[in-house]
Structure 1
C-alpha cells in the first residue's frame, strides 16, 4: 500500500464510526484509499485527489490493503477489483472507465457502495466530494432540482425547499439555473427585491467574496435569491467565460450558505454548467408512468451524483410512488402533496406560508432526512433499477 506522498503506511485498526456523516459527505479522517491494479486508473484518481488536496493511499488489491482501515476516510475501489471490503463501514466509491459502467453499477450494488464515479467524466464531482474530507464542516450543500418532464413542478419544489430550510434556521439560497426562464424571482414574487442577478455576476472579475455575495443578493424573508434578469442574457453571459463564472459563483455560495438549491430548468446547458457543482439531485416526476419513462431519460443525463425522486400527486389509479420509483430507477425520497393553485400562491408572495404549512411539512422532512442520511434504505442512486 503506497501513498502519493511517497511514504509507506499501513492501517492498524478498524474504524467503526465511519459513514455516519450522511450520504453526501465523506467521513472525517486523514486519507483516501484507492484499490486498483490499473495504472491508468491510479493516475486518473491521483489527479482528482491532487485537485482535492487529499492524501491518496494506493493498494493494488484488497489483500494488499490488509483490511485495516485506521485513518482511512473513504475507499475508492476500481472496476477491475471484485473483492469485498471486510469490516469497512465508511464511504465507498466504485471508480472506473466509461467502458466498465454497467459492471460498476453491479459492483456498487454488491458492495453496497455509496457512489459510482466514471472517470474522467465525473472527475469534477469526485474532486468536490473528496474536498469535503479536508474541510468537512466548511461549506454548504448544493442540491439541483430538475423536472423529469415538462410541468413537473421542479421550480415549485426548489423554492419551497429553500424557503423551508431558511425558516428552520439554515442560511439558504435559491438559484435560478434557467437562463431562458424569464427570471425565477418573478415566480416567487421577488422581482422587485433589490440586489444582484446573474448578469451582474458574469460581468464581475476576480474572486467573489462569499459574505459580500450573500449581502448583495436579493432576499425574501430569510432566504436569498440568485435569479436571471429577463433580458439581455446573451450579452451579459458573453462578457466572461460562463463555466468559470459559474464555478466562482457556486464556490462563493457554498461558502456563504448552509444550503444552496439550484432550479436547473430543463436545459442541457444548465445541467452541464451547474449540475457538475451539485452534491446531489432531486428529480421531480408526476405520478404517471409515461412521465416516469421520460424521467428515466433525464436521470441518465445527469452528472454522476446521488439522485432522489420526488413524486408529485395526484397519482393516477393503479399507480403509487413505489411503482413510479421503480420505473425511473431512483428511490423515492418524498411525495409532493396536492395543493390547489400552489403556483399562484407563490406568485402572490405566499412562499413561506406554503413552505411551512402542514401539507408540505412531511415532504420537506423526508427530503431533508434523505439529504442528511436519515432516510432508510436509500443510498446514492437508490436501490431500484440499477443498470
Structure 2
C-alpha cells in the first residue's frame, strides 16, 4: 500500500509495483489506510505524509521525489521505517525489495561495498563480511567487481584454486544455471569467489569487463544461488554502472578524515539509487565522532571498521577465518546484516563511538 496525496508519486509507485508483479492499494490519507492494515504486507509512506502509522508493525519504506530526500531521512527515523527510496532513482531497488516480500525464499540480497576514496579498505571489508557471514553456514558469494584492483584471488589466497573466473564467463550467452554457477566457482574459506584471476593478457594488463548482458545473467544466477552476495564494486564508472544496478544497497567505507568524507560525498551522488550506509575506518582523531563523518558524507553511519594488526598479511596467508572470530569483527558483520535486513542503524552505533583505537 502507498499512502500519499500525490498523484505523481502514485504513478511512480504503480510502475514499480507492476515491475515487481505485486498488487498495490492506494490511500490518500492515513484514515483511508488504517482500515486496511490486514490486507497488505508493506506500507510505502509518501514524503508528504506527516502523521505516524499507529498500529502498523510491518515493513515500512518512505518514498518520495529527489527534492524531498533530506526530510525523508528525518521522516524515516521518526517512523522507524526500514528504508528510504528516492524515486525514480531507487525504482529498481524498490522493485527488488517488493519482489523479496512476495517471494520470502529469496536470499538476503546483494550488497555493494565501495570505497569512498582510494585506499579506503573496501576490499578488506568485503572479504571480512563475506567470510564472517559464511561462517554462519549461509551460502555466500564474494564478487570482485574491480578489475583495476589488486584482485580478491590474492586477498582470499585463492590464486591456486581451480574454478571459474570472470574471463571464463565473458562469452556466456543466455540464462546461467544457478546451481552450476555455484558448483563451478572456487571456494576459499567457505566463501564462493568470482574474481578476475591472475592472468590478464588484455591491453594494458587488465581484463575487460564482460558485456552488460553477461553480467546481468551472472548476477541473476548469483541472486538465486546464494543467500548473500557481497560485491567489491570498485570505483570505476563502468563497474558502478553494470554491477551497481544489481545491488540492493551500498556500504561506503570512509576513512575518518575530512578530505575522505568530501570525496565520499561526491561518490555517493553517482551511485545507483539504493539505500546507503557508511562504515568509518579509523583512527578517529581530535574527538571526532563517527556520525560526524556520516553527516559530512550525507549518509547514515552503520559502524566502524575495527583495527586489526597486519590484516593484509593475515588475509594473504589464507587465515581470513581467524579474523572473523574476533569480537569486534563479528559485531560489525552483525550490524551490516541488520542494516541489510532493514533494522536500521544499530543502537550502539547511534550512541556514537569516540575510541581512538578504531
TM over 0.5: yes
Normalised by the size of structure 2, how large is the TM-score?
0.85
Q: Calculate the aligned-residue CA RMSD, in Å.
A: 2.9
Could you say if the C-alpha distance between residues 49 and 173 of structure 1 is closer, same or farther in structure 2, counting changes exceeding 3 Å?
same
**Is 1:186 paired with 2:154?**
yes
**Is 1:117 paired with 2:85?**
yes
Quote how far apart the aligned CAs of 1:377 are: 5.4
Quote how far apart the aligned CAs of 1:253 are: 0.9
CA distance in 1, matches of 2:227, 2:154: 24
Quote how far apart the aligned CAs of 1:106 are: 4.8
**Is 1:210 paired with 2:178?**
yes
Aligned match of 2:315: 346
Quote how far apart the aligned CAs of 1:260 are: 1.0
Aligned match of 1:220: 188
CA distance in 2, matches of 1:353, 1:292: 31
Q: Is the 8 A contact 1:175 1:262 kept in 2?
A: yes
Quote how far apart the aligned CAs of 1:278 are: 1.6
Could you say if the C-alpha distance between residues 369 and 59 of structure 1 is closer, same or farther in structure 2, counting changes exceeding 3 Å?
closer
SS at match of 1:295: helix
Quote how far apart the aligned CAs of 1:81 are: 4.3
Q: Spell out the pairing of 1:132-147 with structure 2 (5 A cutoff).
A: 132-147=100-115
Quote how far apart the aligned CAs of 1:207 are: 0.8
Normalised by the size of structure 1, how large is the TM-score?
0.79
- List per-residue Cα deviations over 1:189-234 (Å, max 9, x = no partner): 2122211112222311111111100001111131110012452568
Aligned match of 1:15: none
CA distance in 1, matches of 2:201, 2:25: 49
Aligned match of 2:329: 360
CA distance in 2, matches of 1:118, 1:231: 39
Quote how far apart the aligned CAs of 1:110 are: 4.6
SS at match of 1:56: coil
CA distance in 1, matches of 2:341, 2:46: 27
Aligned match of 1:247: 216
Return 206-215 or 33-42, whichever deviates more.
Answer: 33-42
Could you say if the C-alpha distance between residues 123 and 372 of structure 1 is closer, same or farther in structure 2, counting changes exceeding 3 Å?
closer
CA distance in 2, matches of 1:105, 1:369: 18
Could you say if the C-alpha distance between residues 180 and 139 of structure 1 is closer, same or farther in structure 2, counting changes exceeding 3 Å?
same
CA distance in 1, matches of 2:340, 2:101: 18
CA distance in 1, matches of 2:207, 2:312: 29
Quote how far apart the aligned CAs of 1:69 are: 0.4
CA distance in 2, matches of 1:370, 1:322: 16
Return 119-128 or 55-64, whichever deviates more.
Answer: 55-64
Q: Is the 8 A contact 1:330 1:383 kept in 2?
A: no
1:129 pairs with one of 90, 97, 107: 97
Could you say if the C-alpha distance between residues 79 and 318 of structure 1 is closer, same or farther in structure 2, counting changes exceeding 3 Å?
closer
Structure 2, unmatched stretches of 5+, are: 353-358
Return 247-256 or 125-134, whichever deviates more.
Answer: 247-256
Could you say if the C-alpha distance between residues 64 and 301 of structure 1 is closer, same or farther in structure 2, counting changes exceeding 3 Å?
same
Aligned match of 1:201: 169
Aligned match of 1:61: 29
> Number of matched residues?
347
Could you say if the C-alpha distance between residues 296 and 194 of structure 1 is closer, same or farther in structure 2, counting changes exceeding 3 Å?
same
CA distance in 1, matches of 2:152, 2:332: 22
